[in-house]
């Protein structure tokens, strides 16, 4: 484990004004997204769409890294260059999703655990050969009647810690993603309670496993009400999110890159702005030690997909849309976004 290397990659990913594009949708997920715009999910269409994103001019001003899917890290652009080299040429770090999705937990069928630890070390070595500099593993926590259970939180936290350690042993920076889902009618207070418990358990397990915290990034949900509940203001989301992070996240972690998790594009940007604006207000939160940025999928891509619609004549307009969303979030990560 090269600690200096891990720390320098982690810091590069949270360089000022930059965040991460999550373009790691599994084939099943991207098929659903394509269905909404009436595009068939063939390998060539998926490749064409990702090429549109990665070749957008100027995105390196706001995007530090891209999380790729297994299929994508092996693909090439039309000019024959690998997608990895297309990104590297822009100074953007290539990353890779290494979990294999979720399955119901045998002890509690309404809850999920993540698959993919088996054979992970070999896969990481293969991805390192493809020049992946960082990885992502997503754990999913559902809020509902009598859930999450402590067992579910423990199991997912243990897996995240094992994954993170294996990444670091292969000199790959792990993004640790414990996502408390927005699905449901729970209040923002309930989200705060569960997110606190999850983060506390995750950091206990990371420490137990001997994970080097300055060489990871955390990708949590914001503290936010369930999608079927009354919407909270950006200020309340920011206040409770910062409070939750201060209580549960080690100051050694260099950066926190939020997931958008069901928020609309503009909401995800506005909430990131509110968090960074409040972070800068010393009366609200003293000495926030981490860079607070983004690792968004849908919140960077929804309008891009709609604009593209699978048609090559729409590529330029779709790229303009992607550049705009990347720029808006880049500004929000510095507390400098003042509306569209």
Q: Say how far apart CA 62 and CA 72 lie, in whole Å.
A: 21
Q: How confident is the model at residue 65 (pLDDT cuts 50, 70, 90)?
A: very high
74 carries an active-site annotation:
no
CB-based burial label for 118 (10 Å; 0-12, 13-18, 19+):
exposed
Across the strands, what pairs with 180? 141
Strand, helix or coil for residue 89: helix
Q: What is the pLDDT of residue 339?
A: 85
Residue 57: how many CA atoms within 13 Å on its side-chain side? Answer: 4
**Catalytic: 4?**
no
pLDDT digits (tens, 9 = 90+) for 185-229: 999 999 999 999 999 999 999 999 999 999 999 999 999 999 999
**DSSP secondary structure of 143-201:** -BTTBS-HHHHHHHHHHHHHHHHHHHHTT-EEEEEEEE---SS--HHHHHHHHHHHHHH
pLDDT of residue 281: 63
Per-residue pLDDT for 100 more than 70?
Answer: yes
Q: How far apart are CA 3 and CA 57, in angstroms?
A: 33
- Select the CATH number that applies to the domain covering 3-332 from these four: 3.20.20.70, 1.10.600.10, 1.10.8.620, 3.30.200.20: 3.20.20.70
- Name the nearest CA neighbour of 228 among 181, 268, 288: 181
Percent of the chain with pLDDT over 90: 96
Contacts of 274 (CB under 8 A, 6+ apart): 234, 235, 237, 238
Instruction: Choose the catalytic residue: 177, 179, 265, 321.
Output: 177
Residue ranges covered by each domain of the chain: 3-332
Beta-bridged to residue 175, according to DSSP, are: 136, 217
Could you say which of 18, 97, 136, 219 is catalytic?
219
- The pLDDT value given to residue 286: 54
Helix (H) or strand (E) holding 63: strand 63-68
Please give the Cα distance from 216 to 202 (Å, whole number): 13
């Amino acid at each position: 484990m090269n600690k200096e290397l891990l720390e320098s990659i982690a810091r590069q990913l949270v360089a000022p004004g930059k965040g991460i594009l999550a373009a790691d949708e599994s084939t099943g997920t991207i098929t659903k997204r394509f269905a909404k715009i009436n595009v068939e999910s063939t390998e060539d269409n998926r490749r064409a769409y990702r090429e549109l994103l990665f070749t957008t001019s100027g995105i390196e001003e706001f995007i530090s890294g891209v999380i790729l899917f297994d299929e994508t890290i092996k693909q090439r652009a039309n000019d024959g260059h690998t997608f990895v080299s297309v990104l590297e040429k822009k100074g953007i770090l290539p990353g890779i999703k290494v979990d294999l999705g979720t399955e119901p937990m045998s002890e509690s069928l309404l809850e999920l655990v993540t698959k993919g630890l088996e054979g992970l070390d070999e896969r990481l070595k293969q991805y390192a050969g493809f020049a992946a500099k960082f990885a992502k593993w997503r754990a999913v926590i559902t809020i509902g009647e009598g859930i999450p259970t402590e067992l579910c939180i423990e199991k997912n936290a243990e897996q995240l810690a094992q994954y993170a350690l294996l990444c670091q042993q292969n000199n790959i920076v792990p993004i640790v993603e414990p996502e408390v889902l927005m699905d449901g009618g729970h209040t923002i207070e309930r989200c705060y309670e569960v997110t606190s418990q999850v983060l506390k358990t995750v950091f206990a397990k990371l420490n137990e496993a001997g994970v080097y915290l300055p060489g990871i990034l955390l990708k949590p949900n914001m503290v936010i009400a369930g999608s079927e509940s009354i919407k909270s203001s950006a200020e309340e989301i920011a206040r409770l999110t910062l409070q939750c992070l201060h209580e549960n996240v080690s100051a050694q972690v260099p950066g926190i890159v939020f997931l958008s998790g069901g928020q609309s594009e503009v909401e995800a940007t506005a909430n990131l702005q509110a968090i960074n604006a409040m972070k800068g207000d010393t009366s609200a939160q003293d000495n926030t030690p981490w860079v607070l940025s983004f690792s968004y999928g849908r919140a960077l891509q929804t309008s891009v997909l709609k604009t593209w619609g699978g048609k090559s004549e729409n590529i330029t307009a779709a790229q303009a849309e992607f550049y705009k969303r990347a720029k808006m979030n880049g500004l929000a990560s510095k507390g400098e976004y003042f509306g569209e």
